[in-house]
Amino acid sequence: DWSVSSKGKGRRGCVENEADEVAVYGHNISSSPTNKKQEKYIDWLNHSDTTLRHLTQLSDSLYQYLTLPTATRARHRATSKGQKEADEVLSTGHQIFTHNVYGNMIMISQLSEALKYRGLPGNEASRIRQW
């Protein structure tokens, strides 16, 4: 549930919980640091490792999703055994997409928002999201 929206000065973004805030922004955005340099600090090694991990998980999830067996043949509509098989394949595909693909894409978008927050131009962040 992405109902919690954390909007700060000059940026937009949604975070699910405090762990996401720390992963994306490097600190909890609800607690304000005392100086600006501390506010925009980022551990670049951790950020790049997190981004790489999410990109790898995204590619693995897309591979699993795209290599599912087909469920659109005539037997999947004409026979009861085929309908059960199609339901199983479609529900598995839905689970893979919603839990793995969608979640990783959201986190990659949040990680690019973290870069934008720290000075990356908006058009460059847009190119990252489009890619």
Helix (H, G, I), strand (E, B) or coil at 121: coil
For the chain, the 3-state helix, strand and coil shares in percent, each to the nearest 5, are 65, 5, 30
Helix (H, G, I), strand (E, B) or coil at 17: coil
User: Which pLDDT band, with edges at 50, 70 and 90, does 122 fall under?
Assistant: confident
pLDDT of the residue at 86: 92
| Dihedrals phi, psi of 11, to nearest 5 degrees | -150, 160
- Residue that wins the pLDDT comparison between 45 and 34: 45
- Give the C-alpha separation, 47 to 86, whole Å: 40
pLDDT of the residue at 123: 87
Share of the chain above pLDDT 90, in %: 29
Q: What is the mean pLDDT of residues 3-21?
A: 51
